[in-house]
Amino acid sequence: MSKSKSHIHARSISFIDEKSTPLYSDEALKNILNKVSTLELENQRLTNRVSLLEKRLSIDLLTGLSSRDQGITHIESLIKNNGIETFSLVFIDLDQLKKINDSAGHVIGDRMIEKLGKILKKMQLPNQTIARFGGDEFIAILPNYDQKKTTSWCNYLQTKTKLQEPIRIDGEHFYLSVSFGSYVHHKTSETEHLDVKQLIERADKDMYRNKHSKKRPAQKL
């Protein structure tokens, strides 16, 4: 045997050097293997924890829709994607959620958010992203949607929300109602300087114009 190589003694399974001097006893080797096993289990636990945290960052836990960060990431990818020349952003706001929270409590407010989330999730196609943007706000990111298709999408959402049964609490009825605005982005030399924030602001401003034009009281009977 070459003196430059260590080997394992067949009977005692202790590591030995080239002079046949044991480096580890059977007991020490057993302890080392146990520690390695423990470290592997801890590493797997941490890996699972990181995976869960990443999921929480990408998914809104209340609705199951994408998170704000995921929505922004998708918009950024569409801006950079040369294969997509047009896409639409629809900014959606759940009407009068604050009034619902104040009069019926946040539990009922959350139920309204969940109801809207379920509708939006069913409307979402594989190449689309619909994200809960924060609180009572949502954004739909629709690749290859022009103004006509975007208007049709918004009208369908309006119809679906109006067909929802109200939430009844202590004799009061709370109806699901939304306001929305859109911005259709065409990639041209005049729009190539626009970033994610500016695109979202355009859809947001359109939503607020539509919201204020309603001028109607809360749908509470």
Determine contact, residues 88/182, Cβ cutoff 8 Å: yes
Instruction: Kindly report the backbone phi and psi dihedral angles of residue 81, in degrees, each rounded to the nearest multiple of 5, phi listed first.
Output: -80, 110
pLDDT at 56: 65
Which of 65, 208, 32, 213 has its CA nearest to residue 141?
65
pLDDT at 35: 83
pLDDT at 27: 78
pLDDT at 7: 45
Please name the CATH architecture into which domain 68-215 falls.
2-Layer Sandwich (3.30)
- pTM for this one? 0.73
Tell me the residue length of the chain: 221
Count the neighbouring beta carbons within 10 Å of the beta carbon of residue 133. 21
From first to last of its 221 residues, what are the pLDDT tens digits of the chain? Answer: 444 444 444 444 445 555 555 566 777 778 888 888 888 888 877 766 766 666 667 899 999 999 999 999 999 999 998 889 999 999 999 998 998 998 889 999 999 999 999 999 999 999 999 999 989 999 999 999 999 999 999 999 999 999 998 888 877 888 999 999 999 999 999 998 999 999 999 999 999 999 888 755 444 44
Residue with tokens 């797997």: 44
- CA distance to 7, 145, 208, 219, 220, per residue, from 158 (Å): 75, 18, 16, 15, 18
